[in-house]
Every structure is written in C-alpha cells, then in structure tokens.
Amino acid sequence: MKRDRNVKIVATLGPASDGEHMIRKLYEAGADVFRLNMSHGGHDEIRARHAAIRKVEREMGRPIAILADLQGPKLRCGVFAEDEGHVLRNGASFRFDLDPTPGTDKRVNLPHPEIFAALEPGSRLLVNDGKVRLRVDDCGPDFADCTVIAGGPVSNRKGVNVPDVVLPLAALSEKDRADLEFVCELGVDWLALSFVQRAADVHEARDLAKGRAAILSKIEKPAAVTAFEEILAASDGIMVARGDLGVELPVHAVPPIQKRLVRKCRSAAKPVIVATQMLESMIESPMPTRAEVSDVATALYEGADAVMLSAESAAGSYPVEAVQTMHNVALEVESDPNFHTIMAASRQVTRSSTADAIVAAAREIAETVDIKAICCFTQSGGTASLVARERPRVPILALTPVISVARRMCLTWGCQCYITGELTRFKGAVVSAARTARDGGYATEEDQIIVTAGVPFNVQGSTNILRVAPCAERLIYATDPE
C-alpha cells in the first residue's frame, strides 16, 4: 500500500488488537510498525502476534516492521500488612529497608540493595508513578529514612523511581535476556531497550542480539538524557519515552528535551520515535482532545520519524480509530507549507562523505526540477537514512535485496520500502527504480526520478552515483550507452 505521508505510525498490540483480522485493519488504517510489549503476554502470545503480522505482510506484499519492547528491571516496594496500604501525609517520616516484614504506615520493604548503595542524603524517591514523593534524610546499606514531600496512597508492590542517581543496575534483567533471545530467534526487526542509563547498556544488548535486530534505546531516565550523545552513538534508533521522563523530571522539562533529542537524532540520521500518552483519551473515547492532536502535530513539526500508540491500540476501545487519527493529523501537517519551511530551517548537518554530498544534491535537484521520487539502492539502509535526514519534499523509495533491511527501514521518515533482486549494473538499478516508481503510483512514464546507488553493488557504504532518469524504459535504454 502506498502511504501518502512521511511520518511513521507505531501501534502496540494487545488484547484490543489481537488476531490477524485486527492487525490487517490497523495496517490498512496506517500502522507501519507493530510493537510487541514484552511486559505483557507470554511467549506463546508474542509468537502468535508475530505470526499474524508476518501473514498480513505476505498478503499486503509490503515489508512491515516488528519492534519488541523489553521490560527492563522493575523497581517495586514490598507488601503492607494491610492490603489496601496506607496514605502518607506531607511532612511525615517514612523508612525503606531490606526487612521483608510486611510494611506499616512508618516503613516498607524495598528489596533492592543496589538502590541503597547509590542513595545520598537529599536524593528523591518517587512512588506510584511519582504521585508520592519523598526526600532521603539519612541512608545506609540497608535503609533510607525519608521525609514525605508530596503525600498520597502507597500499596503493595508499587513502582519506585530514583531520578537523582545512576543506579548500579544493568538495563537487562534475566527476564529481558530470555525475552531478547526469544524474539531474536523469532525474527523481530527492532529491540527497544528499557532503563538505559549509559552507552554500555546498549553495547550489552547489541552483543546479545548479534546483528539479528537493530537496537532502539528508550530515553526515560535523567541519566540517559545526560549521557545522550554516547547513547545515540551506540544505538540504531531512539525512543523518547515521555511517560517515565515526566515522572523523574519536572513535566515542564520534557518538551524542550523532546525537541532537543529529536534534532540530535535527525542530525545523526537515526530514527526517533516520540511515545507515550499521545492520544490517551482515545483509550475510552472515539475522539481525541484538541491538546492531544496538537501534541502529535508538534512531534511532526519537530521532525520525528515516528509517533507511537501504546494503550490506545493495545487495550483501548478504539484502536483503529486511534491509528486513523494519527494518520489524518500527519496528512494535515505535512500538507502545511510551513512544514517544509520548518524542515529546511532545522536541517543541521555536517557533511563529511561522498554519500552526504550525493543525498544533499538529490534533495536540491528534486526541489529545483520536477522530480517525482528519490530512489535509493541500499544494502544496509544507510543511504536511505541519509536521504531521510534531508527531509525532501518528494517520496523516498528505499530499494534493497535484503528483507531485514527493508523491514527496519519502515521506521525511518519518508521511506517507502521495496524488495529488489540482486543487481550488478547501474543500468539495471535505473530500470528497477523506474518500474517501482511506476508500479507504486509515484510516477508515470512521462516523469523523472532520481536514482542513487553505489558501485560496486552490494557493498555497504559505497554510495557514489546520482542520476536523474526518465521513468520510461525506452528512454533509459536510449540514453544509457551501457
């Protein structure tokens, strides 16, 4: 199916979107990438959803990306003697410790010695998604005495956030390691890594994935924001996970962080997803709020590669409508003349290679001459990513003989991905590009396209040719001496 927009839509699968029929409807509504949340559902459920996606992919004849989102370590308090828990009052004293005895209104177990090892007086502990906030007054290897700064209810096994310190915790728990191996063997295209604090977390996941999936780092902790340059360099893509960021940081700090991270990802030619609570009201309502629509539009104007639905498509009452809403917002934003002005104004690229120069020239030619599409032959996806970084006004056709590359590129802004046969000559590449553009409805025989490729073919990082070519094959053969 030909998409008439550039931004990609990531839809999370869950109870509301199970089964081949619903996955097909979500794809037809506009979903480009399907997210499998490893925090919910066993391996049998994940396997069934993966198989359903691949069946829809075969029926549609177009690559579809699958993103497996690893759970990451979960920090939770223990249980209370009273099942309903307690309400902590402002100014009250409260202790966390390693004692497994059920908690009271004065203390509770926190079965994570690594937290106590990292805490310092003045650090904050956030409970229940940040609704309850405490300040550490004194701490040791097995306790933290705190003052309640913002009170509220606490109950069994509520989540605990520690925003002010880098925790000596690996991003991958034992469950994550088992899940990673399972989904890589299953055949997913992207791995989303939770609880990233440092580049070493990404390197560990990459060593375990062994090239079977691309690594996407979720930025959801202040430490990840601080170390973002190193994390970005180690990652294949980024997710701005605003939900957890908004818990551990002041909510007013999140929008400028989002804008800054999106720009850095674009400059690095790596895809970035803006995620969490984008159309939250559509979990229960067939219509979004105006603020939510504005939020989605803001991410698009910032240049995000993709926007993501979580509970809206996984557990909500209107999953298809939520995808359609995102699709319609994208169509409206991208048809705004100001959109292209903003994309051009935010183009900040240091050009240092032949490939950089070629993709920049391709965009400039497309904006000067009546060009219908830029066709990139790519072995690894690198050339198409560089073209996408330019945010051209014409479609980007990413052509590759490698199915895994085509699927991964489904997350990249503007890339319409197609599988080609192996090529050995540039003329064959031009003919293949022209046919793809015509068959896909991007151009007619009277139109022109731009073709970029690397010679010799099938060598990663060798982009060195640009040609403005006619779409009519008789003209290709008439004007090409080969």
Tell me the three-class secondary structure of 395-424, residue by residue.
CEEEEECCHHHHHHHHHCCCEEEEECCCCC
Q: CB neighbours (10 Å) of residue 472?
A: 17
**Model confidence at 380: pLDDT above 70:** yes
Cα–Cα distance measured from residue 111 to residue 452, given in angstroms and rounded to the nearest whole number: 56
Q: For residues 150 and 126, give the distance between their C-alpha atoms in angstroms, rounded to a whole number.
A: 9
- Specify whether the CB–CB gap between 388 and 412 falls below 8 A: yes
Q: What does the pLDDT average to over 374-387?
A: 93
State residue 218 phi and psi, 5-degree precision: -90, 125
Q: Tell me the longest C-alpha to C-alpha distance in the chain.
A: 85
Which segments of 30-173 does DSSP mark as H helices, in order? 43-60, 113-118
Answer with the residue of higher pLDDT: 45 or 352: 45
Query: Phi/psi of residue 393, each to 5°?
Result: -85, -5
209: its two tokens: 């994935």
Q: Which of 3, 218, 372, 467 is catalytic?
A: 218
CB 371 within 8 A of CB 392: no
Average pLDDT for 3-18: 96
pLDDT score, position 474: 79
**Higher pLDDT among residues 54 and 457, named by residue:** 54
Determine how β-strand 190-193 pairs with β-strand 214-219.
parallel
pLDDT band at residue 2 using 50, 70 and 90 as cut-offs: confident
Structure confidence by residue, pLDDT tens digits, 177-215: 999 999 999 999 999 999 999 999 999 999 999 999 999
Q: Is the pLDDT of residue 482 over 60?
A: no
Classify strands 132-140 and 124-127 as parallel, antiparallel or unpaired: antiparallel
**Cα(479)–Cα(97) distance, integer angstroms:** 78
pLDDT per position as a tens digit, 269-284: 999 999 999 999 999 9
Q: Which of 100, 102, 101, 106 is nearest to 87 (CA)?
A: 106
Walk me through the domains of the chain, giving residue ranges and CATH numbers. 8-72+170-334 (3.20.20.60), 86-161 (2.40.33.10), 354-479 (3.40.1380.20)
Q: Count of alpha carbons within 13 Å of 389, Cβ hemisphere only?
A: 25
- CB-based burial of residue 71 (10 Å sphere; 0-12 exposed, 13-18 middle, 19+ buried)? middle
pLDDT at 201: 96
User: Rounded distance, CA 400 to CA 384, Å?
Assistant: 10
pLDDT of residue 463: 84
Confidence grade of residue 473 (pLDDT, cut at 50, 70, 90): confident
Would the pLDDT of 118 be above 60? yes
* Termini Cα distance of the chain: 33
Sheet strands (E) in 213-264: 214-219, 237-241
- Which of 3, 5, 8, 35 is the catalytic position? 35
Distance CA 178, CA 271 (A): 26
Omega within 30 of 0 (cis) for the link into 255 = no
- Torsion of the alpha carbons at 407, 317, 323 and 326, rounded to the nearest 10: -140
Residue listed under structure tokens 């994935």: 209
| Catalytic hit among 276, 378, 383, 436 | 276
Annotated catalytic residue within 76, 135, 198, 212: 76
21-36 residue pLDDT tens: 999 999 999 999 999 9
Catalytic residue check, 444? no
Summarize the confidence of residues 148-169 as an average pLDDT. 92
The per-residue pLDDT for 425 is 83
Average of per-residue pLDDT across 306-324: 97
Is residue 38 within 8 Å of residue 179, measured between CB atoms?
yes
Clarify whether 76 is annotated catalytic: yes
Angle between helix 319-334 and helix 20-29 axes, rounded to 10 deg? 20
Confidence of residue 41 (pLDDT cuts 50, 70, 90): confident
Question: Tokens standing for 454?
Answer: 């690397």
pLDDT at 129 over 90: no
Mean pLDDT of the chain: 94
As a whole-number percent, the residues of the chain with pLDDT over 70 amount to 98
- Per-residue model confidence (pLDDT) at position 479: 65
Q: CB–CB of 275/10 below 8 Å?
A: yes
